[in-house]
Amino acid sequence: MGPIIPLFEISEEINLLIAFLIGLGFGIALEQAGFSSSRKLAGMFYGYDTTVLKVFFTASIVAMLGLVFLNDLGMIDMSIVYVNDYYIASAIIGGVIMGGGFIIGGFCPGTSVCAAAIGKIDAMYFVGGSLIGILIFGQTYPLWEKLHFAQHIGPVKLSDTLGVKDGLLGLIVIIAALLMFWIGEMAEKRFKREDISKEL
Amino acid sequence: MEKKGNKYMNPYLAGLLLGLVLLASFYLTGRGLGASGAMKSVVVSGVSAVNKDYAESSHYYSKYISDDKKPMKSWLVLEVFGVLVGGFISGAFSGRLKFKIEKSPKITNKKRIRLAIIGGALFGFGSQLGRGCTSGAALTGMATLSIAGYVVMMAIFGTAFALAYFFRKNWI
């Protein structure tokens, strides 16, 4: 029965070793996907490379289906699986700021660490910038504290809000993703940039 | 001349791999993946090292400091250390280890670095306000079908698409 660590007494050392091993897999997957390249990531927004869309949605669907199956098989206690807490204002405003950071800087935090690992100098500066941004948030926290906690909805699932079963919503997400994959493949043909792709 | 290595994995296959890592994280720990949380730990440790009393009195930093827990010895810090090592192993395996600044030929290295710092700062700031970044809020949140995950994902990608035109010179 999972999740293993919260349910069983696992020593601190083993817990941290698992953290490292999961990170290792995370880093290998990101790097093999090409997320260590800012121009490949940015390609998403100009259509010449939609790897981000394909990897991101495939991964979230695989994990989502896995959770649905594990739950149906009684192999995971979903009541202790963390569901992100929803605060409307901070989720939207935070997301918009992050989106700006993405198109300006070319990375997100996870991909920047992965890219820095293989020697991308722009990624190293992005990591430094991220630390500065977090420090700025921390130093000016009183200004944002109210916004940070405004409009609290709670750890709510989209399936509950829509009143459908997880499995059905999962199916809708899969169909939507397949449609987007198709659009992505079309976009890569239409906005092809051989000059960039061969450099990546 | 045939170029050896350098080829990336099929994106759907890479997505499957990433999804399995994410699923393993849920099964083992009850939580998904994260990245910005580890960066926050670095900042909190730094601030706390410079001025412990100040950090403990701050509404923000104090949430992440407690006597029994050192921020740098947290689960997420070890996980992101794993990302660093995993990225390096993968890059070494595929022949991609190289110091390089990646950008469009239309802009200078200096401009690229300046934009990387600004972009990083925005992402870092936004991840704190939005309670997680692309990994912890969007990807992980979407896997549990949480509304927050979908909202953050749409806000990040929607904004990046909306602003793409204005920053096209940096990339294409």
Strand partners, B100: A120
Is the same domain home to B68 and B106? no
A76 and B26: CB-CB below 8 Å? Answer: yes
Chain A residues closer than 8 Å to B68 by CB: none
Across the range B133-142, mean pLDDT stands at 96
CB B143 within 8 A of CB A78: no
Pick from B33, B11, B40: nearest CA to B128 = B40
Across the range B66-76, mean pLDDT stands at 76
pLDDT at B62 over 70: yes
- Window A:167-186, CB contacts with B under 8 Å: 169-170, 173, 181
CB A33 within 8 A of CB B15: yes
Final residue before a domain boundary, out of B67, B98, B129: B98
How high is the pLDDT of residue A82? 95
Q: Give strand ranges (E) for A40-158.
A: 86-87, 152-154
Candidates A133, A142, A173; nearest CB to B120: A133
Closest CA of chain B from A41, distance in Å: 10
Amino acid letter, B134 = T
Across the range B83-101, mean pLDDT stands at 97
Chain B residues closer than 8 Å to A51 by CB: 8, 11, 14
CB B139 within 8 A of CB B36: no
CB A150 within 8 A of CB A89: yes
* Domain of residue B160, residue span: 100-172
Is the same domain home to B107 and B87? no
How high is the pLDDT of residue B90? 98
Query: How many independent structural domains does chain B possess?
Result: 2
Candidates B27, B112, B156; nearest CB to A102: B156
* A26 close to B (CB below 8 A): yes
For the packed helices A121-139 and A141-149, what is the interaxial angle rounded to 10 degrees? 90
pLDDT at B71 over 80: no
Candidates A61, A133, A181; nearest CB to B124: A133
How high is the pLDDT of residue B6? 60
pLDDT at B115 over 90: yes
DSSP B168: H
Across the range B20-36, mean pLDDT stands at 96
CB A54 within 8 A of CB A181: yes
Residue B40 to residue A134: CA distance in whole angstroms: 6
Closest CA of chain A from B6, distance in Å: 8
B102 and A39: CB-CB below 8 Å? Answer: yes
Is the same domain home to B119 and B77? no
ipTM for this prediction: 0.97
How high is the pLDDT of residue A6? 87
Final residue before a domain boundary, out of B66, B98, B130: B98
Closest CA of chain B from A62, distance in Å: 5
Q: Domains of chain A: which residue ranges?
A: 1-78+164-200, 84-156
Residue A153 to residue A88: CA distance in whole angstroms: 7
Q: What is the mean pLDDT of chain B?
A: 93
CB A3 within 8 A of CB B26: yes
Is the same domain home to B72 and B128? no
Residue B15 to residue A63: CA distance in whole angstroms: 10
Instruction: Mark the ranges of chain A whose per-residue pLDDT is less than 70.
Output: none
* A23 close to B (CB below 8 A): yes
Is the same domain home to B135 and B86? no
Final residue before a domain boundary, out of B70, B98, B126: B98
Strand partners, B80: none
How high is the pLDDT of residue A200? 85
Chain B residues closer than 8 Å to A47 by CB: none
Residue A140 to residue A109: CA distance in whole angstroms: 21
Three-point CA angle A65, B86, B153, nearest 5°: 45
* B41 close to A (CB below 8 A): no
B69: confidence class by pLDDT, cuts 50, 70, 90: low
How high is the pLDDT of residue B67? 63
B68: confidence class by pLDDT, cuts 50, 70, 90: low
For the packed helices A109-117 and B109-129, what is the interaxial angle rounded to 10 degrees? 140
Candidates A38, A114, A138; nearest CB to B102: A38
Chain A's closest residue to B13, CA to CA, is A55
pLDDT at B56 over 80: yes
Chain B residues closer than 8 Å to A43 by CB: 171
- Window B:77-116, CB contacts with A under 8 Å: 78-91, 94, 96-104, 112-113, 115-116
Is the same domain home to B78 and B135? no
Is the same domain home to B39 and B122? no
* A197 close to B (CB below 8 A): no
A98 and B156: CB-CB below 8 Å? Answer: yes
